[in-house]
Every structure is written in structure tokens, then in C-alpha cells.
Amino acid sequence: MAETIPLEQVLGTWVAALLTLAIFSFLYRDNPVYKIAEHMFVGVSAGYGVVITWREAVIPDLIQPLLDPAAVDLAGPNYVVLIPGALGMLMFSRFFPRYDWLSRWPIAFVMGYSSGLAIPAAIQMQLLPQLHATLQPVWPAGEVTWWMALSNLLLFVGVLCTLAYFYFSREHKGALGVASRIGIFFLMVAFGAGFGQAVMARVSLLIGRVRFLYDDWWMTLVAPWFGGG
């Protein structure tokens, strides 16, 4: 341990390690230490959100264009930002019951924007390209091997059958019944793969924390006391 670690880093690692252990203590059972850590997390995250939004969004997008235009490469004040600014400020009317109907205006604005955008997005990102990609060569020729062709056919049939399962306007009997039953099988494989991936993801998160505790805290800061590290 030749190099010395800066004090604020030592302190930081200790704080982080103790908080990590505080959260893990929940696994044994719920307890006050866990609750303090949990409530601190909520407060700190909310505060973080406010600060970053203020410093990286509100200041350069709303305040500087009015008060310090040169800082954001404007020749003069841009008074147009007052319109969305005022609209945004109406959100605060939520805190005054008599006027809280005014908060509907900015909400209506954002809802209109996102709903209007959702329509072309669904068509251009999902419906058309995804449909197109489902129609792949199902006959082995040229670069398409028979295995590839078979897989493509499986994909095509799978999409159709899954859609049949979601088609609720007719009773699932006869051909539709068979198709929807096959559709369920495809959905189950998809959910199974999803579960496998979920296990993978959750375990990775734990590994991240355990590696922090072991490498950054225990081996770096604690073990040297015992002559190890």
C-alpha cells in the first residue's frame, strides 16, 4: 500500500460501504437502519433530480437566454422562451387548490405533444419495419441455408400465431384455436428467455455491489489494518 488514498475518498468509500450494508440488512429483516437508508435514498435522489434539472436544463434553456444570452451563443435576449416558461410555471398552481385547474394547461401541452408523436412513431418504428422484417426468405437459396430458411419460417408462423392469440374478436376455436395455442407456446418461450435474462441482470447487480464491498472497501481500507491487503 505505497500510494496514499485521498481522505475524501477514504471517507466516501466508508460511507458507501456502510450504506450498502444498511440496505443489505433488509435481507435478514426490516429494521430501522434499513429504513433510514431507504428514506435517505428517496430524499437524495429527488434533490439530485432538482439540482441537475435546474443547472443543466432550466439555466441554459430558460434563464440564460433571457439574462445572459452571450453564455448560450445568442446575440440578444430571446423573449420567446417566456411562453413555455410561463406555461411551465403554471405547474406550480397545483399547490394552490383554488387555481390548480391552471396546471392542466402545461399537462395538456405535453400530452398533446407526446400523443401526436406516438402515432407516427408507432407506424414508423414498430408496425412497418417490424412487419417487413417478418417477411424473410423461407426457401433455401443462395446465402440462405436450409436452417436459416426454416428459422425464418418459424419466425413468420410464430408472429402470426402470437397475433392470433391476441385476437379477441372471435372465439378461439378451430384453426384460430390451434394457432392461438401455438401462439401461447411462442409467448412462453419469449417469457422464459426473458426470465433467464432477468436472472442474469439481477445477479449482475449483486455482483457489482459485492465487488465494491470486497475490492474497494474490505481489501483496500479494512484488510490493511490486519496486515493484509
Partner 1 sequence: MRLQIPLAITFLIGLFMAVQFFVPHEVFQYSFESLLAWVRIVGAFALVLGIGSLLRTHWDKIRRRRRDWPYSIVTIVSFLAMCVIGIGFGHEPGTVFYWVFENIQVPLDATMFSLLAFFIASAAFRTFRARSTEATLLLVAAVVVMLGRVPSALIVSFGDTAVGHYLHANMPDVSEWIMNFPTVAGKRGIIFGVALGAIATALRVILGIERSHLGGGGGGGQ
Partner 2 sequence: MNVEERPVGWWRAESIWTRLLSLDRRWIFLGIALAVLIPIITGLTLPLGKPAPPTVAVYDYIDALQPGDVVMFAVDYGPSSMPELHPQALAMVRHALEKHLRVLSVSLNVQGTALANDVLQTVGEELGAVDGEDYVNLGFKVGGSAVILGMGEDILTVYPTTADGRRTRTLPIMAGVRNYDDIALVIDLAASNIPGAWIAFAKERYDQDVALGITAIMATDFYPYLQSNQIIGLVNGLKGAAEYEALVGLEGEQAPGMLGMSAQSIAHLLIIVLVIVGNIAYFASGRQRVGH
Partner that binds at residue 135, options partner 1, partner 2, none, CB closer than 5 to 8 Å by kind: none
> Residues 6 or more apart from 117 whose CB is under 8 A from it?
none
Q: x/- contact string, 85-114, with partner 1 (CB under 8 A)?
A: x-xxx-xx-xx-x--xx-xxxxxxxxxxx-
Residue 98 CB-half CA count within 13 A: 0
Sequence letter at residue 199: V
- Identify which of 19, 2, 3 has the alpha carbon closest to the alpha carbon of residue 217: 19
What's the per-residue H, E or C state across 51-84? HHHHHHHHHHHHHHHHHCHHHHCCCCCCHHHHHH
Please tell me the distance from the alpha carbon of residue 204 to that of residue 192, in angstroms, as a whole number: 18
**Of the candidates 5, 193, 224, 229, which one interacts with partner 2 according to CB under 8 A?**
193
User: Could you say whether residue 169 binds partner 2 (CB under 8 A)?
Assistant: no
- Identify which of 44, 16, 8 has the alpha carbon closest to the alpha carbon of residue 24: 16
User: Could you say whether residue 184 binds partner 2 (CB under 8 A)?
Assistant: no
**Per CB under 8 A, which region of 98-106, 141-149, 169-177, 203-211 contacts partner 2?**
203-211
Nearer to partner 2, 83 or 200 (CB): 200
Sequence letter at residue 221: L
**Of the candidates 27, 75, 83, 175, which one interacts with partner 2 according to CB under 8 A?**
27
- Identify which of 93, 51, 84, 91 has the alpha carbon closest to the alpha carbon of residue 66: 84
Place of cell 500500500: 1
Residues numbered 30-49 forming contacts with partner 1, rule: CB under 8 A:
35-49
Alpha helices by DSSP H, the chain: 7-24, 32-52, 64-67, 82-89, 104-121, 128-134, 146-166, 174-211
**Of the candidates 138, 144, 149, 159, which one interacts with partner 1 according to CB under 8 A?**
159
Partner that binds at residue 229, options partner 2, partner 1, none, CB closer than 5 to 8 Å by kind: none
**Of the candidates 23, 33, 176, 221, which one interacts with partner 1 according to CB under 8 A?**
23
**Of the candidates 5, 72, 117, 135, which one interacts with partner 1 according to CB under 8 A?**
117
**Of the candidates 5, 31, 54, 139, which one interacts with partner 1 according to CB under 8 A?**
54
Shortest separation between residue 130's beta carbon and partner 1, angstroms? 6
User: Could you say whether residue 146 binds partner 1 (CB under 8 A)?
Assistant: no
**Of the candidates 49, 112, 137, 224, which one interacts with partner 2 according to CB under 8 A?**
49
Q: DSSP assignment, residue 3? A: S
**Interface contacts to partner 2, rule CB under 8 A:** 27-28, 45, 48-49, 52-53, 55-57, 60-61, 64, 71-74, 113-114, 117, 121, 124-125, 129-130, 132-133, 155, 190, 193-194, 197-211, 214-215
